[in-house]
Amino acid sequence: MEPRRNPYAPGAGQRPPELAGRETEIEAFGVALDRLSGGRSARGLMLSGLRGVGKTVLLNELRSQAIDSGWATGKLEARFEQGLRRPLATALFTATRELSVRRRAGDRVRSFWSVLKAFSLTSEPHGGWTVGLDVEAARGRADSGDLEIDLVELFADAAELGADHDTGIALFLDEMQDAPVKDLSAVCAAVHDVSQVGSPLLVVGAGLPHLPSVLTAAKSYAERLFTYRTVDRLDPMAAALALTAPAAREGVGFTAEGLAALLRAADGYPYFLQAYGSAAWDAAPLDPIGLDDVEAGRREADAELATGFFGSRWERATPAERAYLLAMAELLGGRDGAVPTAAVATHLGRRAASLSPARDTLRRKGLIYSEQRGTVAFTVPHFARFASSRTD
């Protein structure tokens, strides 16, 4: 088939042509926006799941929904062992700059920017980074140096600014599990403060499956502060729609056997649906896309996934870390799931304590996670199968 007409989008964070199976999350977010816009209370949304299930895509979709509803928005991505003060300041500047441009707000926005500059200068007191704010820093507001105190004040001012202009402010935080616990605690405290008075400020986050437990460890009331949604693989109907709808818009269909083979290969994971769908399209000479086309495309997709999606992560691991990953894969029999850390130690003939450095580094690199104490799992679906095939 003509590659220029290939409708699939197998890229990291790229919106698929058919965002199937995420209606529940989109509707829940829309309800929260409407409730806060109407002066009612609403909880923020936390999305958790493995890599490749479309969390970032969904986060971006919800941000677009907020913008369409007239809300000002900002987005940030947490980094391991890097504080949130600076990225939060940038995200709030982005949101309020949107508000300034759309509403032609003047003194009120600049007044908030003075507080925001004071908040950011606490991160870099010598003024090396101030998000380009051409205003004087305020004094005595959001500048104590204690992130929780400062963020409570900053969120309150941001929410008030949004309310003054008949709108709200939505912040979207990706990779939240990587943020320092004390910073997540501060975010929870600030959200708790503004939520008690129904202020129009909404925080939406995304992270790996253990994000709910990370937030609860940061603040015990976090479990009641947000609505939690697990973003998982698509059910067969939604997965089929994600494949067939884009092709149908190009006047192309699938044979029953070809579609079934694609669904088996992708296993419901959105990233794999795009990768295998794209490869099958390129391999097919004519409409409809059949079983032979899918098999030919799968070989190409598997090679590309082995180099990019899986291989790039494998290459980030040291030999000792790869031994740990391989032990996990062997214990799992190439299947997805969690394994006890004690079992990994036994498999490698090592003491569990001696493997802690490798395990902790693999967590920091985002290759494994611990949803329950004493167990580890891969952050990427099908990584056990990939690791089992490695010889290096």
pLDDT, residue 80, reads 86
**Mean pLDDT of the 104-117 span:** 84
The answer to whether 3 and 282 are in contact (CB under 8 A) is yes
Task: Please tell me the least confidently modeled range out of 77-81, 134-138, 159-163, 180-184.
Answer: 134-138
Pairwise CA distance, residues 280 & 276, whole Å? 6
What's the token pair of residue 107? 């003194």
Sign of CA dihedral 206, 207, 208, 213: negative
Tell me 233's DSSP state: P
Q: Which helix (H) or strand (E) holds 377?
A: strand 375-378
390 — pLDDT class (breaks 50, 70, 90): confident
CA distance 83 to 181: 10
Tens-place pLDDT, residues 231-263: 999 999 999 999 999 999 999 999 999 999 999
Backbone angles phi, psi at 311, to 5 degrees: -60, -40
CA dist., res. 11 & res. 294, Å (int): 19
Considering only CA atoms, which of 111, 207, 103 is closest in space to residue 158? 111
Helices (H), the chain: 23-37, 55-68, 85-103, 107-121, 147-164, 181-195, 211-218, 222-225, 236-249, 256-266, 270-283, 291-307, 311-315, 319-332, 341-348, 356-364, 383-388
**What pLDDT was estimated at residue 303?**
95
List strand residue ranges (DSSP E) for 115-258, in order: 169-174, 201-207, 226-230
- Alpha carbons 81 and 76: distance in angstroms, whole number: 15
Residue pair 362/324 in contact (Cβ under 8 Å)? The answer is yes
CA atoms of 329 and 332, how far apart (whole Å): 5
How many residues make up the chain in this entry? 392
Determine the pLDDT at residue 207: 97
Q: Say whether pTM exceeds 0.85.
A: yes
pLDDT value, residue 279: 97
Cis peptide before 200 (omega within 30 of 0): no
Confidence of residue 102 (pLDDT cuts 50, 70, 90): low
Least confident of 29-33, 124-128, 131-135, 281-285: 124-128
pLDDT score of 127 more than 60 = no
Report, as an integer, the average pLDDT of 199-212: 96
Residue 131 has a pLDDT of 59
What b/e readout covers 317-337, taking b as 16+ CB neighbours within 10 angstroms?
A: beeebbbbbbbbbbbbeeebe
Give the phi and the psi of residue 38 in degrees, each rounded to 5.
Answer: -90, 10
Query: What structural domains does the chain harbor?
Result: 23-230 (3.40.50), 236-307 (1.10.8), 317-388 (1.10.10.10)
Specify the pLDDT at position 104. Answer: 59
Bridge partners (DSSP) of residue 205 are 46, 173
Continuous H helices in 165-255: 181-195, 211-218, 222-225, 236-249
pLDDT at 336 > cutoff 60: yes
When pLDDT is averaged across residues 374-383 and rounded to a whole number, the result is: 96
User: CA nearest 288: which of 262, 250, 253, 257?
Assistant: 253
Residue with tokens 């499956």: 209
- 327: pLDDT strictly greater than 60: yes
Q: What are phi and psi of 169, to 5 degrees?
A: -125, 130
Q: Which two tokens stand for residue 114?
A: 């003075």
In degrees and rounded to multiples of 5, residue 73 shows phi and psi of: -135, 155
